[in-house]
């Protein structure tokens, strides 16, 4: 029997497949998530030169880590909150929170207020991704889950490109505050759109409509840490931690590292832009292959590509070759992170999905705390450029070993919209 594709019914003028609307809106949400995070790395050179703030490179590294500490706790909370209150309310709340924090950052009168704003925003940054990934996977057709997740989470890299591009264009003219003010635009654009059009997850609605006795038997968190599931979640946490170190470390410090290597600031920012262009390529191509062959070999291969290319960034070569190497490093680094979200989301059964995404994303953010701090240490020490990039490459190798070792679990039943028809 033919089952028609469900359509959004929150407004009578909308007549699109639900998963298309969900992917499109969540893509925009993650664009601003990526912009608001990565704009910090783009503005670090300007913050270091803000005379009244007296920031050192170590201070800048600590401020970069504060947002990621908030993200760690936001991601851990997200899984439980989305299971209790639904994916949509958590998405709305986290989107609003990180947008308000950008207003506070733009208006900051000193490093302390700025750091507080980044910490508050970090909670929103951390909570939004698990909620967005869960609702996307739970509306997507089974054969397109990795692709839909990758398209949506590729918004992170698009946001990174926008941050670097805006910094190249606006930073020398208008200063860093306007770049943070741009990050607050979701308050007047996306928040109303999510409220109007975003449907709730069919999995959550089905569970909420279950009899009280069945709801009382919901799977405890201990089910995620026992047996093969426990081994899988541990290895996913290791892989996500390593990616957090690489992605946030490089996005925070790559422009400054290249500036220290003698590149003018605009050229240094171009490296960051190319890193995120590569991420989009890696996310889309990697997810298409993952839907056909499985995510394990794709994620492992992309980790290895990242390890090789990142290590080569410290080798003297023509500028054109270096730009190409950064592009491919983006395919293997941030691109891997995007495909890894889909790997986690499709690896666990529906009743463990939100919590597994929250926990693993939390460890990615924990790695993100370590990344900028590690970068600050490397950039202020006597360690050379080759050793600095080589350090990040080691994390890519460890991530590859973790990804290839994840044990196979019993396939989750697809709790998609079709099951509710």
Q: For residue 17, give the 3-state DSSP assignment.
A: strand
Element (H, E) at 19: helix 18-48
Q: What residue spans of 261-384 are helical by DSSP H?
A: 265-293, 295-312, 319-332, 334-347, 350-380
18-420 topology per CATH = Growth Hormone; Chain: A; (1.20.1250)
- The residue extents of the domains of the chain are 18-420
For residue 7, the SS3 value is strand
Alpha helices in 49-110 (DSSP H): 57-85, 87-106
170-179 burial, b for 16+ CB within 10 Å, e for fewer?
Answer: ebeeeebeeb
Query: What b/e sequence results for 369-399 when a residue is b if at least 16 CB atoms lie within 10 Å of its CB, and e otherwise?
Result: bbbbbbbbebbeeeeebeebbbbbbebbbbb
Residues contacting residue 160 through CB under 8 Å, at least 6 positions apart: 34, 35, 37, 38, 251, 272, 273, 275, 276, 279, 334
CB count in 10 Å sphere of residue 97 = 19
Most distant CA pair in the chain, distance: 69
**CA-to-CA separations, 137 to 94, 121, 153, 416, in angstroms, rounded:** 19, 25, 11, 8
Which tokens in the block code for residue 298?
């794709």
pLDDT tens string, the chain, 421 residues long: the values are 333 444 444 443 344 457 788 888 889 988 988 888 778 877 887 888 777 888 877 788 778 778 878 887 887 787 778 777 888 889 999 999 989 999 998 988 888 899 899 989 888 888 888 888 888 888 878 777 778 887 887 787 788 778 878 888 888 788 888 899 998 898 888 899 888 888 887 777 776 664 543 443 455 556 666 677 788 889 999 999 998 898 888 877 787 777 777 777 667 777 877 887 888 888 888 888 888 888 889 999 999 999 999 988 878 788 788 888 888 988 888 788 878 877 887 787 767 777 787 788 788 878 877 887 788 788 777 777 788 888 999 999 999 999 999 887 654 444 333 333 3
Q: How far is CA 252 from CA 272, 300, 375, 376, in A?
A: 9, 24, 8, 9
């Amino acid at each position: 029997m033919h089952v028609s594709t469900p359509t959004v019914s929150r407004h009578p003028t909308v007549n699109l497949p639900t998963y298309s609307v969900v992917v499109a809106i969540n893509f925009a949400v993650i664009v601003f998530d990526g912009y608001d995070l990565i704009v910090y790395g783009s503005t670090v050179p300007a913050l270091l030169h803000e005379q009244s703030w007296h920031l050192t490179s170590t201070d800048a590294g600590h401020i970069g880590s504060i947002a990621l500490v908030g993200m760690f706790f936001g991601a851990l909370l997200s899984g439980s909150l989305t299971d209790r209150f639904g994916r949509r309310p958590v998405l709305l709340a986290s989107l609003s929170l990180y947008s308000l924090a950008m207003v506070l950052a733009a208006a900051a009168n000193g490093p302390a207020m700025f750091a507080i704003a980044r910490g508050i925003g970090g909670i929103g940054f951390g909570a939004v991704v698990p909620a967005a990934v869960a609702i996307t996977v739970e509306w997507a057709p089974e054969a397109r889950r990795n692709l839909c997740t990758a398209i949506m989470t590729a918004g992170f890299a698009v946001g990174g490109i926008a941050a670097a591009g805006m910094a190249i264009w606006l930073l020398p003219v208008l200063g860093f505050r306007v770049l943070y003010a741009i990050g607050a635009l979701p308050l007047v654009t996306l928040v109303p759109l999510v409220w109007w059009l975003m449907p709730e997850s069919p999995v959550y609605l089905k569970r909420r409509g279950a009899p009280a006795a069945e709801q009382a038997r919901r799977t405890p968190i201990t089910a995620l840490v026992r047996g093969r599931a426990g081994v899988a979640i541990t290895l996913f946490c290791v892989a996500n931690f390593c990616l957090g170190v690489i992605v946030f470390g490089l996005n925070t410090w790559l422009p400054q590292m290249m500036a220290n290597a003698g590149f003018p600031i605009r050229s240094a920012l171009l490296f960051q832009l190319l890193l995120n262009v590569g991420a989009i390529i890696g996310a889309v191509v990697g997810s298409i292959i993952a839907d056909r062959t499985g995510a394990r070999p794709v994620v492992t291969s992309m980790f290895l590509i990242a390890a090789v290319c990142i290590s080569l960034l410290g080798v003297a070569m023509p500028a054109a070759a270096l730009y190409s190497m950064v592009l491919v490093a983006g395919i293997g680094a941030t691109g891997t992170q995007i495909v890894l979200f889909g790997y986690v989301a499709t690896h666990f059964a529906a009743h463990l999905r939100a919590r597994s995404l929250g926990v693993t994303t939390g460890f990615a953010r924990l790695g993100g705390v370590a990344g900028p701090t590690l970068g600050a240490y490397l950039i202020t020490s006597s360690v050379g450029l080759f050793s600095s990039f080589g350090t990040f490459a080691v994390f890519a190798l460890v991530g590859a070993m973790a990804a290839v070792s994840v044990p196979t679990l019993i396939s989750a039943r697809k709790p998609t919209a079709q099951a509710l028809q």
